[in-house]
Structure 1
Amino acid sequence: MSQPHEALKYAVDIVLCIDSTASMAHVLDDVKASALSFHERLIAEMRAKGKAISQLRLKVIAFRDFGDCAEDALEQTDFLVLPDRSVEFDKFVHGLEADGGGDIPESGLEALALAVQAPWERGLDRRRHVVVLFTDAPAHPLGSPRQRAAATYPTSVPDSIDELFEQWGHARSQRSVMDNSAKRLLLFAPEISPWPEIADDWNNTLFFPSNAGEGLEEWEMSEIINTIANSL
């Protein structure tokens, strides 16, 4: 006999990958505001659907460009249980500043790789593991010598996007690190490689094309929250 709907325990893990380069100055405030209200809006949406989140954890990965300034190319938190660690979460997000970036491509794939490799929750009755990536730029290819030469470059990042796809998981993948039924990827990114290709090839992925000079639309954030809530 199945458990009553109310008795199910829902674990939701969300990793927010945020482009914090200078070109994001026009949209970063919108992204930060959305990030700060994200957990409250998700909890409210779940409650409206008669579901209660038993555990909500958020992790933030802010990325720039290893080829421009390796020292601040990545900033990240651990998974923070909310609302218990809301102060820590809010402080980190408020502290993000749009700066650096150098050439047009950024280190978005490195941020995505670290998100995929995050220590996701494996317990409770139902789980949702969500990566949300915000950027206005293409990404340097994985394996780029200039990127990998940076002293701060994460050693766990795969050498190619094909290897990262293996870690995300697909029908023939032998090295998937994600729970196939739990994973979701939401991309708020321009229609420039590699983002459309990822949206086409990676399963459980939604693509919200962004336009240069425009902020994060309210309907897009609502769509992201609804997507998570409806998938549980």
Structure 2
Amino acid sequence: MTSELEKYHGNLQYAVDIVMCIDATGSMNPVLDIVKNSSLQFHQRLHDVMAKKSKEISQLRLKVIAFRDFGDDPSDAIEQTDFLHLPRQVTEFETFVRSLRAIGGGDIPESGLEALALAINSPWETGLDRRRHVIVMFTDAPAHPLGTVGASAQTYPKDIPRSMEDLFEQWGYARSQTAVMEQSAKRLVLFAPEDEPWKEAIGEDWDLTLHFPSRAGEGLEEFEMDEIIETIANSL
């Protein structure tokens, strides 16, 4: 028999937007397939967890931003999709993810902050009853400061912050007047090394952020996509 709580949940419209920022540089070669496989399974696993909680996602959109290094090769430093509606556009999502190759990047750091800035400025859903906007960062390397390496390249993103301070203002905080993300909806999950800017500048100083340390070539093998899924499901 359906409980009153289940009926209540069933009447709500849940919108979930997820942006996956994936380091596709050469050092990720040992673990990129693991990240890709988990990404491909993500929507079904989320659906299953939500069903166990008597919740159903009304709209699920995923966007992927693959990044390398503007200082190494600006022509392929960023590859990205639009927001894709799943399951309707699952073929487009799978085709893009499967096409990613761990190449280039040169020496560390990489252009992870540019990817994060693009993710923050995504066209997030603003309708339906409840929303969750999640950015997931997969990387094994520190990041260049914004607006420095490769910033003069034609392919460098034009409308992103040029400093960590400005990026933080866009991420926002309680009662922020400059945030571009909805405070109650946003979450950031970092699978990133204990290097800057991931550990302190973001992992410790930004609100609504979870940091799971990784190490080059091996740390990401231990990550559990369940952490992301539970973060979403428990907060809706």
* Structure 1 length-normalised TM: 0.96
Tell me how far apart the structure 2 counterparts of residues 141 and 76 of structure 1 sit (CA, whole Å).
Answer: 21
Residues 23-172 of structure 1 aligned to structure 2 (within 5 Å): 23-144=27-148, 146-171=149-174
Structure 2: unaligned runs, 5 residues or longer = none
The question of whether the paired residues in 2 share the 8 Å contact of 1:67 and 1:150 is answered with: no
Shift, 1:174, TM fit? 2.8
The question of whether the paired residues in 2 share the 8 Å contact of 1:10 and 1:53 is answered with: yes
CA shift digits 1:40-75 (9 cap, x unpaired): 101111011110000000000000001110000000
The question of whether the paired residues in 1 share the 8 Å contact of 2:113 and 2:144 is answered with: yes
Q: What is the aligned partner in structure 2 of residue 194 from structure 1?
A: 197
Cα separation, partners in 2 of 1:18 and 1:219, compared to 1, 3 Å: closer
Tell me how far apart the structure 2 counterparts of residues 58 and 135 of structure 1 sit (CA, whole Å).
Answer: 18
CA shift digits 1:187-232 (9 cap, x unpaired): 0000000001201111110011112331534662111211111111
1:115 counterpart letter in structure 2: A
Tell me how far apart the structure 1 counterparts of residues 147 and 42 of structure 2 sit (CA, whole Å).
Answer: 33
Tell me how far apart the structure 2 counterparts of residues 147 and 204 of structure 1 sit (CA, whole Å).
Answer: 30
Deviates more, 1:3-12 or 1:153-162: 3-12
Tell me how far apart the structure 1 counterparts of residues 139 and 129 of structure 2 sit (CA, whole Å).
Answer: 33
Tell me how far apart the structure 2 counterparts of residues 123 and 209 of structure 1 sit (CA, whole Å).
Answer: 34
Tell me how far apart the structure 2 counterparts of residues 43 and 216 of structure 1 sit (CA, whole Å).
Answer: 24
Tell me how far apart the structure 2 counterparts of residues 28 and 94 of structure 1 sit (CA, whole Å).
Answer: 10
Shift, 1:116, TM fit? 0.2
Tell me how far apart the structure 2 counterparts of residues 20 and 152 of structure 1 sit (CA, whole Å).
Answer: 17
Task: Describe the SS at the equivalent of 1:111.
Answer: helix
The question of whether the paired residues in 2 share the 8 Å contact of 1:30 and 1:215 is answered with: no
Count of paired positions: 230
Shift, 1:5, TM fit? 1.8
Tell me how far apart the structure 2 counterparts of residues 100 and 66 of structure 1 sit (CA, whole Å).
Answer: 10
Q: Which 4+ stretches in 1 moved above 4 angstroms?
A: none
